[in-house]
Structure 1
Amino acid sequence: MLSSPASLARIQRIAATPGKRALHDLVSLPNQKPVVAYGPPGRSAVTGHVATVFGCTGFLGRYLVSKLAKAGTQVIIPYRDEDEKRHLKVMGDLGQIVSMEWDLRDENQIEECVRHSDIVYNLVGREYETKNFGFRDVNAVGAGRIADISAKSGVPRFVHVSHLNASQNTPSKFYQAKAEGEELVKDAFPTATIVRPGSMFGYEDKLLNNMAFWPIWWKLNHSETKIRPVHVSKVIVPKYTLVDRLAQVFDVAQALTNLISVPSFPRLVNLPGPSTLTYEYLLELISTVTYNPLSPAPTVPKAVALALAKVSQNIWWPTLSPDEVKRRYIDDSDVAGDWDAVGVVPDEIENHAITYLRRYRSSANYVRPVVLPPRAEQA
């Protein structure tokens, strides 16, 4: 149906009227470049920021892209496989998701991905080695290369995601490479922010899903290894207090998103989960939520697990690697969290376990209520 002339005139007047802006819509970047936001809040708005997310097709990357694009930020998504990035295209408004093919060893492609961005996130990481990329190639050398090219391209802000247990004094080559990557990033980009999240859980995680499917491999170290799981993505929950304000209960992806608007860019941000738990408790939690009995399988000795992991390296799809066996014996670092620096409050794993584990229930138990097991926080 055609609109009346009066309606068309009104639409033209609204379209021709510039939106009202306030002082907080103007942001000055560290390189003194202004960023101007406009439009109503939401995915149809424009924050004025352009962000590049390396590792956007990974577990954390897809949630970060979603939150950035939902706020109106233009996001550059470097990809290697065409099929792995298709689901990211619909996360933002028209023209806000820009995909670019890249290779970790091609400096020209990296430079093309960052040349127009005012913030670059490096989420690229590999928890197992392949014939083309080792731990150091991806987690250390690759991270340093991205940081160096970003600095030379004039990118004002750089965020590198490491791991809570990154350390040179550890038997795990993965954690060693993460620690080396932090140093290479800081050498190439001195003002970079290093983010160290704990083990993350969510829909596509390698924590709850693997524990529910292969509980035997989480009985290593007699299930006494301590872990500090943290949620990867969570919606805002309104909670009114005495001052009638919104209590922000978010996640790792939201913490990374908030770094865009943090006035003083922190140099190190540790993001552990709110509680320290053992693998034994998590296996019990999964059994309680799914109504599946605990696995009667005995604890596999470390030597046997390492031997089986080495044999499994001949399989073409990623399986349990020898380095991952070593990581199952390493407790998560007990450093304090820096959630306040990014305006985020982490949530407990019990509040979301049923969301990701219901699929492992039988049809008879699918709609049964959730009864969580009692626990005492591990010291």
Structure 2
Amino acid sequence: MFSSSRLLRLQRLAVPAGKRAIHDLVTPVPSKPIISSGIPGYSAVSGHIVTVFGCTGFLGRYVVSKLGKMGTQVIIPYREEDDKRHLKLTGDLGQIVPMEWDIRNEQQIEECLRHSDIVYNLVGRDYETKNFSYSDVHAKGAQRIARIAAQAGVSRFVHVSHLNASHNSKSKFYRSKAEGEELVKEAFPNATIVRPPAMYGLEDKFLTNMAYWPMWWQVNGGQTTMRPAHVIDVAQALANLMHSTQAPGNFSLPGPVTFTLEYLLEFVQSVAYLPPSHVPYLPKPVMLAIARLAQLPWFPMVSPDELERRYINDADVEGDWDVFGITPGQIEDYALGALRRFRSADNFTRPLVIPPRTSVA
């Protein structure tokens, strides 16, 4: 038998660290109550269960990391076994739950989100394949996920589109993004639509691609304007949505500065100490013909539609960063970390040299 003093000590040990209060209880309608506990951080319990479709992509891995640091249980649907292994470390023990899925399998989609109170859809493709067109992924796939989420009683649905989504665009990619927004709204009327621009960061396909293949960015005389944003800023904005009860509507997240392609290429070459490209600016029909030939390898270097998008200026819209409590960073503050690996050994430790913004629109 335990003594009364020892029993008292055991009872005290059983009490969780940190008392729960009324502000720890959130009851989204019509979902279950959400009760947070513990000191905020990696090992806390936010009370939320979140599903992130598209978690293995560039933006998805940072969204999962941000959610995991809040003590959130995150369901990570995956297609390839090895694509999701690195996400296991982004949350505490048992908080990152992998589940296999296919965007055409409604039963698997329902299994991935049936216990979640928030669902993020980050699924996207840069190029089409024989199995998946842009519409299959950005429109029909997004509609399917939103419809199943609504039927399962999910209280929040966040859909990531693109800053340049438009039904009138010359790009099939942008048209499918606009179609996806409409279909998601029909299936889940209170959905939150987030429109980020091209994103840069470690392992990106933006600055890294400019360093590897500058010729694919030497289009339109270098006068195409872009408003890139840092991927971590966009991921933090999406993660902050978890704390709001509802945020229906469309929100644009353009970068703080508008650049021309000519300036961005000069910027990448200056930061990485790369020699300037001597490939001339070729006419658009010639570039598109080369892009069609680039489809022959198993992994296309660039698709014709992707090249077409580099002739389209980013939308001139006001940013909604304040809604998410984020101040977007400047590209000069992050570029060195993403581009230093392209420097030679002699230039690796040289200071950062940034060209003046003479080519900024």
The normalised TM-score by structure 2 is 0.95
Structure 2 CA distance for partners of 1:153 and 1:353, relative to 1, 3 Å: same
AA matched with 1:16: V
Structure 2 CA distance for partners of 1:288 and 1:60, relative to 1, 3 Å: same
**Alignment-derived partner of residue 274 in structure 1:** 256
**CA contact 2:31–2:155 (8 Å) conserved in 1:** no
Structure 2 CA distance for partners of 1:377 and 1:118, relative to 1, 3 Å: farther
**Cα offset, 1:48, TM superposition:** 0.2
Give me the whole-angstrom Cα distance separating, in 2, the residues matched to 1:352 and 1:333.
Answer: 23
AA matched with 1:60: L
AA matched with 1:124: V
**CA contact 2:17–2:38 (8 Å) conserved in 1:** no
SS at match of 1:304: helix
SS at match of 1:259: helix
Give me the whole-angstrom Cα distance separating, in 2, the residues matched to 1:260 and 1:361.
Answer: 39
Give me the whole-angstrom Cα distance separating, in 2, the residues matched to 1:376 and 1:193.
Answer: 37
Does residue 1:92 correspond to 2:91, yes or no?
yes
After superposition, the C-alpha distances for 1:326-357 in whole angstroms (9 at most, x for unaligned) are 11100000110001111111011111110100
Choose 217-226 or 14-23, whichever is displaced more.
14-23
**Cα offset, 1:313, TM superposition:** 1.6
312, 317, 336: which one aligns with 1:335: 317
**Alignment-derived partner of residue 73 in structure 1:** 72
Structure 2 CA distance for partners of 1:263 and 1:148, relative to 1, 3 Å: closer
Q: Which runs of 5+ in 2 are unaligned?
A: none
Structure 2 CA distance for partners of 1:40 and 1:307, relative to 1, 3 Å: same
Does residue 1:156 correspond to 2:155, yes or no?
yes
**CA contact 2:156–2:246 (8 Å) conserved in 1:** no
**CA contact 1:266–1:341 (8 Å) conserved in 2:** no
**CA contact 1:276–1:377 (8 Å) conserved in 2:** no
After superposition, the C-alpha distances for 1:130-160 in whole angstroms (9 at most, x for unaligned) are 1100111111110011001111111111000
After superposition, the C-alpha distances for 1:309-335 in whole angstroms (9 at most, x for unaligned) are 112222111321010111110000011
AA matched with 2:156: R
**Cα offset, 1:94, TM superposition:** 1.0
What is the 5 A alignment of 1:266-305? 266-305=248-287
**Alignment-derived partner of residue 37 in structure 1:** 36
**Cα offset, 1:287, TM superposition:** 1.4
After superposition, the C-alpha distances for 1:233-282 in whole angstroms (9 at most, x for unaligned) are 1xxxxxxxxxxxxxxxxx00000000011244141111010000011111
**CA contact 1:262–1:342 (8 Å) conserved in 2:** no
**Cα offset, 1:300, TM superposition:** 2.0
**Alignment-derived partner of residue 168 in structure 1:** 167
**Cα offset, 1:27, TM superposition:** 1.7
After superposition, the C-alpha distances for 1:290-311 in whole angstroms (9 at most, x for unaligned) are 1122111101221111111112
**Cα offset, 1:11, TM superposition:** 7.8
**CA contact 2:64–2:74 (8 Å) conserved in 1:** yes
After superposition, the C-alpha distances for 1:33-53 in whole angstroms (9 at most, x for unaligned) are 321100111111000000000
**Cα offset, 1:26, TM superposition:** 1.6
**Alignment-derived partner of residue 115 in structure 1:** 114
Does residue 1:369 correspond to 2:347, yes or no?
no
**Cα offset, 1:17, TM superposition:** 5.1
**Cα offset, 1:374, TM superposition:** 1.2
What is the 5 A alignment of 1:1-379? 13-16=12-15, 19-31=18-30, 33-233=32-232, 251-376=233-358, 378-379=360-361
Structure 2 CA distance for partners of 1:178 and 1:300, relative to 1, 3 Å: same
Give me the whole-angstrom Cα distance separating, in 2, the residues matched to 1:129 and 1:266.
Answer: 30
Give me the whole-angstrom Cα distance separating, in 2, the residues matched to 1:225 and 1:70.
Answer: 38
Structure 2 CA distance for partners of 1:11 and 1:61, relative to 1, 3 Å: farther
Structure 2 CA distance for partners of 1:208 and 1:288, relative to 1, 3 Å: same
**CA contact 1:72–1:96 (8 Å) conserved in 2:** yes
After superposition, the C-alpha distances for 1:69-105 in whole angstroms (9 at most, x for unaligned) are 1110000000000010011111111110111000010
Give me the whole-angstrom Cα distance separating, in 2, the residues matched to 1:275 and 1:24.
Answer: 39
Structure 2 CA distance for partners of 1:7 and 1:132, relative to 1, 3 Å: farther
Give me the whole-angstrom Cα distance separating, in 2, the residues matched to 1:164 and 1:296.
Answer: 32
AA matched with 1:118: D
The normalised TM-score by structure 1 is 0.91
Identity of aligned residues (%): 63
Give me the whole-angstrom Cα distance separating, in 1, the residues matched to 2:180 and 2:327.
Answer: 27
Q: Which runs of 5+ in 1 are unaligned?
A: 1-5, 234-250
Give me the whole-angstrom Cα distance separating, in 2, the residues matched to 1:9 and 1:321.
Answer: 69
